[in-house]
Structure 1
Amino acid sequence: MNQSAVWRIENGQRRINLDDALGFAQVFEITLADLVSPPELAAEAAELIEDVARAERAVQQAQRTHQQASDHLAAYLAKHPGTHEWPGAPTNR
């Protein structure tokens, strides 16, 4: 595609056919849906994806913290066998 054709597309003087759109999507390494979607939808999707990623990182950190606490409790109880017998102590039932 020559520069004149690109200029006409950018300035709304030439429509893009499906072959052109697929080529642009491939060149810019985006999906065809991203190419034809309004930019604000892409920005909103990016924010939502980041929210999910942030929540996933928080879940993973919470799981690590829980596992460490459980390991420390198990080690403590192994060293102090009678400790788990106080009223209200967690049980393995």
Structure 2
Amino acid sequence: NFDPDKYDLIIIGSPVWALTYAPPIGTFLEENKLEGKKIALFCTHDGMIGAAFENLKKELKGNDVIQESDFESPSSRLDEYVETAKEWARELLEGL
């Protein structure tokens, strides 16, 4: 079972499905009520991010979304995005 109280930062990532976050992320958020947490968001997509971040932030009211990052067509830019993701993770850790 997931216990959000054990974490200083929660990272939530999702592929973009139909211009929003994937349904399993919605299920996770319904089953794990998050309140007063620092949260970082990322998504993967093939060119259209839609309202993925906006919709996630609506579901995460009462939390502090400290960063968002998106990765377009990650399978075709893997080497580049591995480094981008590492740098993003470093920035997140430094901000704690």
Superposition TM-score, scaled by structure 2 size: 0.27
Hey, which of these two has a bigger chunk of strand by percent? 2
Hey, which of these two has a bigger chunk of helix by percent? 1
Which protein, 1 or 2, shows the higher relative CO under an 8 Å CA cutoff with sep ≥ 6? 2
